[in-house]
A and B are shown apart, each in its own frame.
Chain A
Amino acid sequence: MNWSHFIAQNYAQILELTIEHLWMVGISTLLAALIGIPLGILIAHVPILNKPVLTTANVIQTIPSLALFGFLLPVPGLGDRAERLAILALTLYALLPLIRNTYTGIRGVDSAVLEAGRGMGMTNGQLLFQVELPLALSVILSGVRVAVVISVGLATIAAAIGAGGLGELIFRGLAMVNNLLILAGAIPAAFLALLADFSLGWLERRLRPR
């Protein structure tokens, strides 16, 4: 079976799994942003929290992904909840770059600018939304970019617990010793990672303060 024949036969499934893959990455990144960005803002303003929060996120990051998904395997009734568990795991992995970059971005805002703003009578909320976040935006976005690229890769392993995505083709190909099947999962996944890296990188440069 040559590759053009293979694609013609399987493109519908590849497309479906790609969309499933994107869905897992998108939802988990969104959740991680909803948790990680506020946490990053918090630890940038409450120095005492910064060590414990960053350490926890770091520890999560060091758990090997295959092991984490392995831990989830014996969960009863996994079949129905596989996708949700995969999204949870991906969210945990995406937290560190988001928290760390939000923290770094906000701490990097010129203190003279902040002092001028505070001295002119801006409230903490006004400083955050009009000064700190806009000036930290490109650094935060670079955190999003790292998180997305990591997630695209990790999401292939989610297939190990039956959560679907492009990893399913890879795992199936490994089991059947079928290189075409492996590549049908690996190439779209690599392409997604590159696309996310490129487009978010472009956005980040556009938003970088001069």
Chain B
Amino acid sequence: MAAWMTLRTQVTARSGASSLPASHSTSVCLAEMDRDPHNGPTIQFRNVSYALPTGQLILSGINFDVFPGETLVLLGRSGSGKTTTLKLINRLLSPTAGEVRVEGSAATQEDVVRLRRRIGYVIQEVGLFPHFTVERNVGLVPRIEGWPEEKIRRRTQELLQMVGLEPTLASRYPHQLSGGQRQRVGVARALAADPAILLMDEPFGALDPLTRNELQHQFLSLQQRFHKTVVFVTHDLNEALRLGSRIALMELGKLVTILSPEEFLHSSDPLAAAYVQAFRSGLDSAANRGTS
């Protein structure tokens, strides 16, 4: 029970510090957009649907905004459409209906390559290039953007330090690293060209609990320094409560609700309640076994 209480206090503290209230009214948005187009939502989903070429509907009628500097967690079980939603943002997929806007402009009208270079992308399988050293993997986007070599080298060193890796690892190949180290390199690579937006698809899903905990901690401290706009996919409620400014709950291709972590814990929504129940039962049963 003690662990549970600590977690709740943590969540309350975080959502208290969150710069944006969960119910961000549209009128405020518009007023801000008049002054500066980047003060509006960084990412907007408007009635977005996505169907496979076979006609199978994967996502339907998705609406949400992601505001600058917040971490929106997409929570849901496998097959609920979280990853598809993420890929619509950097246009690895295109919506079959509706519109996805990134920094005010519809993603479908922009040069895809330029859009993607402004968005950091971390995936669960990491996707490090096996034939590139850590240094070349991290420096990938700066290099294809044509930065001078010296600047890439300095940036790489800075990034490795930032994600808590020894500079001596720079010359290693991915297969010579541990899972946690690889994932850190993946994060460093996504941050390389200093994108304002970061998309993370279950980045810590394949790690052992302790390593995952370390990386979540690292993520929070990086987020405190850099205030990236993050969309984070996970199926782990603990991770969602810990990292998210807001949690978007997805089920069967639909967005069920968006709640702050604190609201999520007390939500009357049956699905949210079921998640919390499942989460609590683990802690409770352990606690009960201790007492009986």
Contact = CB atoms under 8 A, between A and B. Distances in A.
Interface stretch (A96-104, A113-121, A140-148): A113-121
B127 A135 contact: no
Given A122-B144, A209-B131, A210-B173, A116 B117 contact: no
Contacts, number: 68
Contacts of B90: 119
B131 A119 contact: no
Contact of A116 (B119, B123, B131): B123
Interface string A17-37: 000000000000000000000
Contacts of B87: 119
Given A126-B144, A210-B173, A119 B130 contact: no
14 contacts: A110-B125, A110-B127, A110-B130, A112-B123, A112-B125, A113-B129, A113-B130, A116-B126, A116-B186, A119-B90, A119-B92, A119-B199, A130-B129, A134-B131
A189 to B, nearest CB: 36
B131 A112 contact: no
A114 B92 CA distance: 11
Contact of A121 (B113, B128, B175, B199): B113
B117 A112 contact: no
Interface in B123-139: 123, 125-131
A138 to B, nearest CB: 11
Interface in A179-210: 209-210
B144 A131 contact: no
Given A210-B130, A210-B173, A210-B175, 7 more contacts: A117-B140, A119-B87, A121-B112, A121-B113, A121-B115, A122-B113, A122-B140
Contacts of A110: 125, 127, 130
Interface of B: 87, 90, 92, 112-117, 119-121, 123, 125-131, 140-141, 144, 173, 175, 186, 189-190, 199
Nearest to B189: A120
A119 B113 contact: no
A103 B114 CA distance: 29
Nearest to B130: A209
B116 A119 contact: yes
B113 A123 contact: yes
A131 B141 contact: no
Contacts of B123: 112, 115-116, 119
Contacts of B112: 121
Contacts of A121: 112-117, 119, 141, 144
Contacts of A123: 113
Nearest to A131: B129
B127 A112 contact: yes
B59 to A, nearest CB: 18
Given A126-B144, A210-B173, A210-B175, A119 B121 contact: yes
A135 B131 contact: yes
Nearest to A116: B127
Nearest to B176: A210
Contacts of B129: 113, 116-117, 130-131
Question: 3 shortest A-B CB distances, which residue pairs?
Answer: A116-B127, A121-B116, A112-B125
Nearest to A126: B144
Nearest to A123: B113
A117 B190 CA distance: 11
A162 to B, nearest CB: 47
A121 B112 CA distance: 7
Contacts of B128: 113, 116
Contacts of B199: 119
A195 B286 CA distance: 67
B125 A120 contact: no
Contacts of B186: 116
Given A115-B123, A210-B173, A120 B140 contact: yes
Nearest to A119: B121
Interface string A124-137: 00100011001100
A130 to B, nearest CB: 8
Contacts of A119: 87, 90, 92, 116, 119, 121, 123, 127, 199
